Structure 1
Amino acid sequence: MQPDSIYYQIREPESTLTDFVESFWVLTNRSDKANNIVVLPDGRVDIMFSMSPTEPFHASLIGIESKAEQVVFQAHTTIFAASLKLPAIEFLFDAGIAALLDSARVLPEGFWNIQADDLLDFDSFCAKLNGQLSQVFSPVQHDPRKQKLFHLLYASNGALSVQELSDRACWSSRQINRYFNQYFGLSLKAYCNILRFRASLPQIKEGKFFPERDFADQPHFIREIKKFSGVSPKELSQNKNDRFIQFSLLGRK
């Protein structure tokens, strides 16, 4: 994959949405060739709006990924997306997304009132979603236990133990795990491990192959990186052919 063949831009949502939306982003393959890429687990839930010469415009809901997935990024494909934090899920999808662990589903036509023409201008796309989602989430009443839990999760990048999260959120670990499995399809600990893996990517890109976060030791660190990426930290840092897409885009705006 040639670095200049991929266009990428990311935008933070309005401040009123930061409990629910991590970012808006656009990704385009400008080349005439398809790219074989690897998508790494990052703990996000994505709503993607995409179109290409071979597929009509459509929207997809992408569940949490627990392992690396090889994907073909077709030539001249454009994706506009909203990356959601987990608190958004209950309010957008009553039944949760447990069935979508490591998978996706196509959303109904007209979802969020986004049309193909909205994929022509990223600024307008972000403004439209900021307005619509502000209305969706403005009346939301937080469960204080969930609010505390998710704040701790994201602030610590998954480094806190399940017991510490349970104690500080005043919510039993059994109840938390029941909630996570019911709505998201995995345990709290499994989700923490994904967040911790994601937080390690910048240090690996800098060539630091030792644990800087809450890993027991270097062998534990290496095992976790291999578990989620399929390769060692050193191999990941080399990123041959820019195949690990999130790794390639680190630091790019």
Structure 2
Amino acid sequence: MTTDLQIQVIYPDKDLSDFVESFWMLANSSNTDKDISTLPDGRVDIIFSYSDTEPFNAMLMDLDRNCSSVIFTARTFSFAVSFKLLAVEYILDTSIANQGNLPVFLPNNFWDIKQSDLNPFETFVKKISEQIKSILQHKKIESRKKKLFDLIYSSNGAMTVKDLSDKSNWSSREINRYFHKYIGISLKEYCTILRFQSSLPDIKKGKLYPEQNFSDQAHFIKAVKKHSGLTPKELNKNENDRFVQFLILPKK
């Protein structure tokens, strides 16, 4: 299945790393539709895409809570920026709390990105990066929020809510109010998604036991099934190479 799928990832400069997880490109250059699935990864994406049958468009995607399956149609090309959660408030200036796992179509001139800006991929990354830096010039980031998200991402969601609260000097009640306002889930649920995502490289390598501070095997299996619909063993098989994230993970 993956022969005609191309995927490429570029990671951001250090000065954007608090807000951007990565930039990526996914292309189906064949004349055949592809069944693909994506797994929750804790990111919020803006995707610019076009195909032989659909015009160029830009969409803001919701935070995935569960596995999503789609038909990636023939001759479709998608270019995206994947944001960390701090970007929802400070870069996108919005809330995804009530988005309902549906894409929101953005204006045709969003961030002045045109179809001609997508190729080569590096040109897209450069232009998007410049747009984000321009937005950040006018923003003052609250220190406790930056500290909180530094801790969340550096620990891959493994720290307890209490520890995150104590170390960021921000009450757990206020943190959860913030998460529900901008994201629509609790801090604890988000950390579970990150722990699931960080376990994928081990699952792909056949390590089917908890490696990311899950309390025990039962909790590990429960989290994997919740977010993928499969057991770790079933996910490891990745039948028909359907999971896009597995295409960029190290091979066994």
Interval containing the TM-score (normalised by the shorter chain): over 0.9
TM-score (ref. length: structure 2): 0.96
Q: How far apart are residue 88 of structure 1 and its match?
A: 1.0
Distance in 1 separating the partners of 2:98 and 2:107: 17
Structure 1 SS opposite 2:48? strand
Q: What is residue 241 of structure 2 aligned with on the other side?
A: 242
Q: What is residue 36 of structure 2 aligned with on the other side?
A: 37
Distance in 2 separating the partners of 1:101 and 1:209: 32
Structure 1 SS opposite 2:199? helix
TM-score (ref. length: structure 1): 0.96
Structure 1 SS opposite 2:118? helix
Distance in 2 separating the partners of 1:62 and 1:99: 12
Structure 1 SS opposite 2:98? helix
Q: How far apart are residue 249 of structure 1 and its match?
A: 2.7
Asked if residue 218 in structure 1 is aligned to residue 212 in structure 2, the reply is no
Structure 2 SS opposite 1:100? coil
Q: How far apart are residue 161 of structure 1 and its match?
A: 0.8
Unpaired segments of 5 or more residues in structure 1?
none
Deviates more, 1:139-148 or 1:195-204: 139-148
Q: What is residue 199 of structure 2 aligned with on the other side?
A: 200
Q: What is residue 18 of structure 2 aligned with on the other side?
A: 19
Residue identity in the other structure for 1:107: L
Q: What is residue 110 of structure 2 aligned with on the other side?
A: 111
Q: What is residue 71 of structure 1 aligned with on the other side?
A: 70
Residue identity in the other structure for 1:120: N
Asked if residue 136 in structure 1 is aligned to residue 139 in structure 2, the reply is no
Once the two structures are superposed, what CA deviation does each residue of 1:165-201 show, in whole Å capped at 9, x if it has no partner? 1111111111100100010111100100000000000
* 1:58–1:109 contact (8 Å) kept in structure 2: yes
Q: How far apart are residue 37 of structure 1 and its match?
A: 1.2
Asked if residue 125 in structure 1 is aligned to residue 127 in structure 2, the reply is no
* 1:65–1:101 contact (8 Å) kept in structure 2: no
Residue identity in the other structure for 1:133: I
Matches within 5 A, 1:56-95: 56-95=55-94
Residue identity in the other structure for 1:121: P
Alignment size in residue pairs: 251
* 1:36–1:70 contact (8 Å) kept in structure 2: yes
Q: How far apart are residue 101 of structure 1 and its match?
A: 4.6
Once the two structures are superposed, what CA deviation does each residue of 1:119-151 show, in whole Å capped at 9, x if it has no partner? 221111111112221111133211111011000
Distance in 1 separating the partners of 2:185 and 2:158: 17
Structure 2 SS opposite 1:120? coil
Once the two structures are superposed, what CA deviation does each residue of 1:190-249 show, in whole Å capped at 9, x if it has no partner? 100000000000000110000011111111111110110001111101001011111233
* 1:37–1:71 contact (8 Å) kept in structure 2: yes
